[in-house]
Amino acid sequence: MEEQAYFYRDTWAEVDLDCIAENVSSVRKHLPEKVEIMAVVKANAYGHGDVQVAKTALSAGASLLAVAFMDEAVALRHKGIHAPILVLGASRPEDVQVAAKYNISLTVFQKDWLQQAQQHLASGDRVSLHIKVDTGMGRIGVRSRDELSSVEQFILKDERFHFEGIFTHFATADELDTRYFKQQLALFEELLKGLTKQPKYVHTSNSAAAIRFPHAYFNAVRLGITMYGLTPSLEMQKEIPFPLKEAFSLQTRLVHVKKVKKGDKVSYGATYESGSDEWIGTIPIGYADGWIRRLQGQEVLVDGKRSPIVGRICMDQCMVRLPAQLPVGTAVTLIGRQGQEFISINEIAGKLETINYEVPCIISNRVPRLYKKGGKIVDIKNDVLGKSQA
């Protein structure tokens, strides 16, 4: 039996890079030319694939990248990404030399951090820094003009530090009620007045603000969820002036088909009992892949029709009530389009009572990612088998 070239299971995710490119291009056309796009590729590009998305976004009009942690930035450097990268989260001061080595910009918000970082920098080192301002998100950031001034002055007095940027993050930019957003923006603008020197980058807007609030652009925006073709929130769907193309789909195949009789039980706990003679199919995906037990009852697409998951979802498998007898190997779509039917990430998020951001992020790395361009598979990444083709 001939081996498959890249992975050995009948479950995979497909990421359409043309959708990523079109979403970035749409935002690029929406923004003034002087406003740069910082593509947010943290969390393995929201589960889509960091290096593939980064390259696509940069080709489509982004000029910078952002990640959450230094590990993610270093990984991109090792994969051949040379574009500017900002770490949005907190980094350890003792790791500042790594940032200098790989030309990675760091977020800072504490004078104490800077004092400790000085001890780990050699005389020829240089690291770029963005000051984070907490205007109401309540995570990290300086909160007053005195704090901001203290951090800025410390940076400016050490030639090994380069004051590259300043930013904040909006907590409610994706909500129709804009009162809190306006409070945050006003506070940020007020704090900016206390700077001795305005840095190269001033950025506040996430995807939602980049679409809705031109007065909050400054000179860069951070493009996250919209880049992947997903709405920042359900309530602002009508606020988006261009179509979004959902890039992520999740596919599998039937590995077993059987006919059960009325009263037969399916899966752990015997929670499902057939109401009549039924065709049941088994698919090789389970909660270890991120297809968690709460998705019991969620419909999938088989033979172009919606079919429910029956019984409890297992670690590696789950069962589907089929519309008819179908052959082993029949394609099953869990997220995406099949025929005239479409299951969106928003639908899965609704079933899970969560937000769409979470869905692709929880699809685990043991699910291979395949990358499409021009309707064809052009790249395959398989972290599980250690056979990355990236």
The closest alpha carbon to 379, from 75, 74, 48, 73, belongs to 48
Rg (CA), the chain: 24
Is 182 marked active-site? no
- DSSP-assigned letters across all residues of 259-303: EE-TT-EESGGG-EE-SSSEEEEEES--GGGT--GGGTT-EEEET
Catalytic residue among 8, 259, 268, 387: 268
How many alpha carbons lie under 13 Å from residue 228 in its C-beta half-sphere? 32
Cβ of 37: how many Cβ atoms within 10 Å?
Answer: 23
Identify any residues that bridge with 11 across adjacent strands, giving them in sequence order: 252
Q: Are strands 220-223 and 201-205 parallel, antiparallel or unpaired?
A: parallel
Q: Are 61 and 28 in contact (CB under 8 A)?
A: yes
Q: Is the dihedral of CA 131, 133, 139, 140 positive or negative?
A: positive
Q: What is the DSSP letter of 142?
A: B
How many alpha carbons lie under 13 Å from residue 322 in its C-beta half-sphere? 27
Helices (H) and strands (E) in the chain, counts: 11, 21
Q: Is the dihedral of CA 76, 78, 80, 84 positive or negative?
A: positive
Write phi, then psi, for 166 (nearest 5 degrees).
Answer: -145, 145
CA 175 from chain centre, in angstroms, equals 20
Write phi, then psi, for 7 (nearest 5 degrees).
Answer: -150, 165
The residues near 375 (Cβ < 8 Å, ≥ 6 apart) are none
Q: Are strands 127-132 and 104-108 parallel, antiparallel or unpaired?
A: parallel
Catalytic residue among 29, 42, 193, 373: 42
Is 259 marked active-site? no
Active-site positions read 42, 268
